[in-house]
Amino acid sequence: MRAVIQRVKAAKVTVLDELVSSIGPGLCVLVGIKATDTARDVEYLVRKILALRLFEEEGKRWQKSVKDLNLELLCVSQFTLYHRLKGNKPDFSAAMKGDEAQKLYNHFLDQLGQSYNSSKIKDGKFGAYMQVYIENDGPVTINLESPEQKDTDREVDK
């Protein structure tokens, strides 16, 4: 499971020019799910995203997390994070397919809400053609990926 995390002053998602979600200061998290991801990958990403110290305190950088400061998160599903190029054309066969990906993505959102505050977790519209607007703060962008699991670990997750 992969996340591109951006510290933002504000962010919003629209679909067909209609506002779906918006946040003030916090994190915009683009989430990619690969075909072999499990609940264990969700748990890893949730723990890391909420603990990442990307915010200042008293002029000192990298001191506080989104959770420490009670800020919001805007999460956007993005299967294109799992691509490979075939010549000049992207191939997304490594990404988890529709219904299964939506279930794991919803589990990710639920876990964020349970580990933090569900009212602070905002979301795009899964599977929709979205416009994501961010006012990047810094800019600060962090790429995060769950560790590869051994086949024996995957059997435990099933």
Locate tokens 């988890």: which residue? 96
CATH number at residue 131: 3.50.80.10
79/98 Cα distance (integer angstroms): 9
Q: Which domain holds residue 22?
A: 2-145
pLDDT score recorded for residue 63: 97
Predicted local confidence at residue 103, as pLDDT: 98
Q: What percent of the chain has pLDDT over 70?
A: 94
Domain presence at residue 154: no
Q: How far is CA 49 from CA 30, 91, 150, in A?
A: 11, 27, 23
Asked whether 34 and 2 are in contact (CB, 8 A), the reply is yes
The answer to the question of residue 129 being in a domain is yes
Mean pLDDT of the chain: 94
Burial class of 59 by CB neighbour count within 10 A (0 to 12, 13 to 18, 19+): exposed
Q: Is residue 157 part of a domain?
A: no
pLDDT tens per residue across span 96-151: 999 999 999 999 999 999 999 999 999 999 999 999 999 999 999 999 999 987 66
Question: Which candidate, 142, 115, 94, 119, places its Cα nearest to that of 43?
Answer: 115
Could you tell me if residue 105 is inside a domain? yes
pTM over cut 0.75 = yes
